Structure 1
């Protein structure tokens, strides 16, 4: 069962916008079936998916506060296309709540031993290899104006690509797919930035953890050095794709991930990464000066990025929305109305604002500020406290590992997963400055996977 968990999440297409995205993806019924099968096979595991009293209390508190706040906001906004409405917001929020529970439950029921953990990560990385070969690499050829895969890319996009709601004269997928319309790589995600988040936040930390500890991971290789070489190459392939995705999120994520990789790596690998970085920076600087494509790409998505008015205006408006409703926020699904009340006029003189955002609603273009604006300090402070508490426990376990009677391979495995988890949290926190959607399946699965591993280590330390 564990082998299906991560690979199925690549198929991220949602089949209706009436519910939370995750419950309309193919992964949702698959996970429900896996949960039922696991309970049928191991009835004694039922108690492992019964939430604790604290979890129930916190969820109940969250819902009571949100319903009251959404009711207040609805009374202020009324029925308007600028918000999702109190009933629809409640339905979508219920879907996200179910998603969190299902992701936690499926990890609880399927990943019990270290063997399960290894199978979970191996199947995810193998699935990623096929995803890159069959989906991402053909898309890259299209971005280089090679027409050989043009029809193939459009066909698989028609079957599996997740789309935003589009409007007249504003359609990312008008030519058959995002790639053929926008000239940027997106996998099956709705935009290039979301592919960058998927690769950079979910999968790159796994390879950083494996290579930083130099452990034997793949059963079909004979030597540890071969493993290290393959995993390093795999990590560099992902970093290269983050650049080729032509998105600010991807470029910055690649840079931060590389710094974290060098920080965690052993001495030999660290020096290799430092020298490669120096060589890479020099070559990139020369290419920036001499190669038109590189020059234009770096200017367009990093140094002199244009068309940032809406992101700037939306970010300012979200901050103002939070500052004017700091305790309770404005409720899930209602930020758009308040963004339009607070957005600076100087950022509204563009087609996207005038013909889309002002008429159909302004999306949260910064998830971090969006969470504070939606939920307020009353929800965000406990959430951040719980996350920092888990991180503190993780660092404590990391430094107490020497107390366990472990061989070198087991020690490397535990240290590698801890490094991967911390790296993922840092990259997710950075990406939340923009848009990341952390409640999608791959992020939740990885979070609960790492969390369960930390809890297992804590239990072993107490024995």
Structure 2
């Protein structure tokens, strides 16, 4: 229980320690993936602390760890997407809050304790290549620019300049272009099963919401309608067929939070709660 300033400081110290432990683990995985160095260390840490899924996805760890087997960074989570969510939800807000505080005061030196982990997290998110990371990364970069560059004209200039540099780099560098295409653009096509599932879930939940506009279908009661209303681009990919039972009352993962709330609880409940929070 936090009862004093010292308790708050210890809480922040705990966040710092946890963040650096995770970053060191991720960097070790990145070094192995890029240079083939440290396989034994990566597997040793993974065997002790890595969160792993059920037997259905045991092949992800066949060579000792997720990172070694799949060639993707996962930290200590069971897969890359969960690592991205952990970084974006837990550590990025903490770092951006500290960054905003430092830039709201007169600063005489660069806050390396903020910038180093922030830059490392941005690199890890990009290298992870997960859909979650690719959706969250632009937001992180934009918020960072807003904090550092206080003038909106300068913000737009920086964002525009960055986009221009990326476009020029993609035009004149085939390797850079292929990297951006593989890590970013290929993530948002229906041939990517992960994106197809998420987009399909959002579309399905919206269809259910339209059919049950007022009160929704109730918590966790979307299985029947979800199976019927799932779009075709979602039905014919391995992730849907392998992990979601193809039955009228089967499990259907809600991968879109807002549309999931609307579908299950309807506009009356959702609207009332939203109004109560923001009034």
TM range (shorter): 0.7 to 0.9
Instruction: Answer whether contact 1:136 1:187 (CA < 8 A) is retained.
Output: yes
Q: Secondary structure at the match of 2:111?
A: helix
- Take 1:347 and 1:127, find their aligned partners in 2: how far apart are those partners? 37
The equivalences for 1:296-445 within 5 A come to: 296-305=178-187, 306-307=191-192, 308-359=195-246, 361-389=251-279
Query: What is the deviation of 1:216?
Result: 11
Instruction: Answer whether contact 1:215 1:227 (CA < 8 A) is retained.
Output: no
2:124 to 222, 227, 241: 241
Which structure 1 segments of 5+ residues have no match? Answer: 1-109, 218-222, 390-463
Which residue of the partner structure matches residue 40 of structure 2?
151
Which structure 2 segments of 5+ residues have no match? Answer: none
Instruction: Answer whether contact 1:184 1:245 (CA < 8 A) is retained.
Output: yes
Query: What is the deviation of 1:128?
Result: 0.5
Q: Secondary structure at the match of 2:255?
A: coil
Aligned residue pairs: how many? 270
Query: What is the deviation of 1:129?
Result: 1.1
Instruction: Answer whether contact 2:23 2:121 (CA < 8 A) is retained.
Output: no
The equivalences for 1:149-228 within 5 A come to: 149-165=38-54, 167=56, 171-214=59-102, 225-226=108-109, 228=111
What are the Cα deviations for residues 125-170 of structure 1, in whole angstroms up to 9, with x where unaligned? 232012211x1111112332x33322332333233333344537x8
Which residue of the partner structure matches residue 33 of structure 1?
none
What are the Cα deviations for residues 91-140 of structure 1, in whole angstroms up to 9, with x where unaligned? xxxxxxxxxxxxxxxxxxx223444334322320232012211x111111
Query: What is the deviation of 1:355?
Result: 3.1
Q: Does 1:119 align with 2:10?
A: yes
With CA pairs under 8 Å and 6+ residues apart, which has the higher RCO, 1 or 2? 1
Q: Secondary structure at the match of 1:214?
A: helix
Question: TM-score, structure 2 length as denominator?
Answer: 0.78
Instruction: Answer whether contact 2:73 2:128 (CA < 8 A) is retained.
Output: yes
| Structure number with bigger Rg | 1
- Take 2:201 and 2:237, find their aligned partners in 1: how far apart are those partners? 13
Instruction: Answer whether contact 2:197 2:234 (CA < 8 A) is retained.
Output: yes
Which residue of the partner structure matches residue 129 of structure 1?
20
Instruction: Answer whether contact 1:335 1:370 (CA < 8 A) is retained.
Output: no
Query: What is the deviation of 1:246?
Result: 0.8
